[in-house]
Structure 1
Amino acid sequence: MGRKMEWAGKEKHMRGIPRKLVFLAVGAFAKAVATLLNTTSVHNADTLIRLVRSRPPGIPLLTVSNHMSTLDDPLLWGFKGFPSLDANLARWVLSAEDICFKNYALTYFFRLGKCIPITRGAGIYQEHMNEALQCLNNGAWLHTFPEGKVSQEDAPIRRLKWGTASLIVRGHVTPIVLPMVHSGFEEVMPEKFFLDRRPPFPLCNKKIKIMIGQPLEFDIPKMRQVAISKSRGDHLFSSTTSRGWPVISSHGLDLDEAAQRCLYSTISQQIQTVMEELRSLAKSS
């Protein structure tokens, strides 16, 4: 399918008209569901809107959130005041290949919607992760669901997959990392509504809550040095079965697989801790 129709995701494809039409339609749908059919409250919305609209040129934005339903994206961006109809400002997002790219029509549609196919279980160095990395290197906004799959349980944030951390480390410029946590979408689009199936349309009169945190700062050069030292002295990282990861060279340092594991684990734990704090804040408010 031509590298999953990567050409259809290009900004200049048919002068950008199909992409604009998709975002007008999907953005209007998201706003209708999030603001008209349901009640959405957002904590710290101004921070997200500011970073989407006017962050420094060339600085990428990486937002991360929990994953409560198959409609988290685009409904996350449907709240009042967010520029969800603007294709130029819209996020790129990692999307499950087995759901969004099952045939030509779906692949074309989701490509126009700035979605990047990810094969679950194929590892953090699979082909299209390089496409996601390129988006960040271009200074774009990328959203990920680092838990890796939908979970509608009222439970703590699960251990994050390391793909998001690898993008933070490998980027030419360290992205602004903005954690988010939401609830309510599991009621808008429950996985088991009738006969263990999702409803054909989003449900109404539900309360959606979106908690947006503060940007996280990662001193990657320093963290690389710490990871190299720690991985050499930590039996847990050095003895783990090799997956054949490539050595990463940056800032004059080479990261072997053990150092990468150590670094990705550290970054993921920091993001997960903040997400869990946001989840606890949401439950208490």
Structure 2
Amino acid sequence: MVAAAGKRKMEWAARGTHLGGVPRKAVIAAVGAFAKVVASLLNSTSVHNADTLLRLVRFRSPGVPLITVSNHMSTLDDPVMWGFEGFPATDAQLARWVLAAEDICFKNSVLSYFFRLGKCIPITRGGGIYQEHMNEALERLRDGEWLHTFPEGKVCQEDAPIRRLKWGTASLIDRAPVTPIVLPIVHRGFEEVMPENFFRGKRPPVPLWNKRINIVVGEPIEFNLTEMREKAISTSHDLASAPTMGWPTSTHGLDEAAQKCLYNAISGRIQSTMESLRNFSKTFLKPKS
């Protein structure tokens, strides 16, 4: 069922005007410096096609939002993946917004305040695409901001194909007031920097070092959403008898069945593109033996 609209968690702390923006700048600067140390000093990080990411972060047209999507190898993927040389990781204005698991990053008031200052949007896993904080993400896209998502939905440290993606990212692409630029990223090595089962099934207390991190930035994925919506409507009749979740009709007039068809098509396109990047990283960016 559609999640009931609720109060946004510490939304006031997420605003750039909170205390003149000083707390946000301090947190972004500190976290960005930490990312630089882990990615560029303690470990070796190489980035393929970094110029495309840098160009879109710094110089995309005003009002045009950016969504970056990546695989999820560890709890350090974000922010450390932005710590490579030449990236403005300490710039609060350019920093990404990111969808973050509420049950991990927002366990108490202190963590909630910290992650909100760090431009994190809490997402309840299993809460559906119409939960209130997804509306907040849509507002950031409306403002032309950069949003990062992990569409697989959870950490996976196995060297395995990209898993079936959750529909949240696809719904944001469809529902955003301005169609966002969608940039895929695939990385390897974070599973060694922060392994899930380091000692007795627990993560290490600090990031490990002398590891190699490889990041492959793709090219923006083109979506003809008008055509994809029309196709979704025409093919959704086969799902008329499928169980429903009570989704409202979308702003583009798609009922729940059509939305599911559309989000499945968008997600499939992203998944296949990310899998191609993953294969590229295995072939051309072999990790250090």
1:239 is aligned to 241
1:50 & 1:275 partners in 2: Cα distance?
A: 20
1:145 & 1:188 partners in 2: Cα distance?
A: 18
Give the counterpart of 2:138 among 133, 139, 146. Answer: 133
2:154 & 2:135 partners in 1: Cα distance?
A: 20
**Aligned to 2:9, what secondary structure does the other structure show?**
helix
Give the AA of the match of 2:112: T
Give the counterpart of 1:194 among 182, 193, 199. Answer: 199
2:130 & 2:216 partners in 1: Cα distance?
A: 30
**What runs of 5+ residues in structure 2 fail to find an aligned partner?**
1-5, 285-289
2:71 & 2:277 partners in 1: Cα distance?
A: 11
**Aligned to 1:181, what secondary structure does the other structure show?**
strand
1:249 is aligned to 251
Question: Per-residue displacement from partner, 1:147-196 (whole Å, max 9, x unpaired)?
Answer: 00000000000000000000000011100000000010010000010111
Q: CA deviation at 1:127?
A: 1.2
* Two-structure CA RMSD over aligned residues (Å): 1.0
1:204-243 to 2 correspondence within 5 Å?
204-232=209-237, 235=238, 237-243=239-245
Give the AA of the match of 1:249: T
Give the counterpart of 2:80 among 75, 79, 83. Answer: 75
2:148 is aligned to 143
Question: Per-residue displacement from partner, 1:206-227 (whole Å, max 9, x unpaired)?
Answer: 0000000000111112211111
TM-score, L = length of structure 1: 0.96
Q: CA deviation at 1:115?
A: 0.1
2:33 pairs with 1:19: no
1:12-161 to 2 correspondence within 5 Å?
12-161=17-166
1:188 & 1:29 partners in 2: Cα distance?
A: 14
The 1:201/1:19 distance shift into structure 2, 3 A limit, reads same
C-alpha contact (below 8 Å) 2:71/2:152 kept by paired residues:
yes
Q: CA deviation at 1:2?
A: 6.1
1:191 & 1:37 partners in 2: Cα distance?
A: 19
C-alpha contact (below 8 Å) 2:175/2:251 kept by paired residues:
no
Q: CA deviation at 1:3?
A: 2.5
2:276 is aligned to 277
2:55 & 2:151 partners in 1: Cα distance?
A: 23
Percent identity, please. 69
Give the AA of the match of 1:187: E
1:265 is aligned to 264
2:81 & 2:158 partners in 1: Cα distance?
A: 18
2:27 & 2:120 partners in 1: Cα distance?
A: 12
Deviates more, 1:220-229 or 1:27-36: 220-229
Question: Per-residue displacement from partner, 1:30-49 (whole Å, max 9, x unpaired)?
Answer: 00000000000100000000
1:242 & 1:182 partners in 2: Cα distance?
A: 36
Q: CA deviation at 1:124?
A: 1.2
1:184 is aligned to 189
**What runs of 5+ residues in structure 1 fail to find an aligned partner?**
none
1:160 & 1:23 partners in 2: Cα distance?
A: 29
C-alpha contact (below 8 Å) 2:8/2:132 kept by paired residues:
no
Q: CA deviation at 1:238?
A: 2.5
2:247 & 2:263 partners in 1: Cα distance?
A: 13
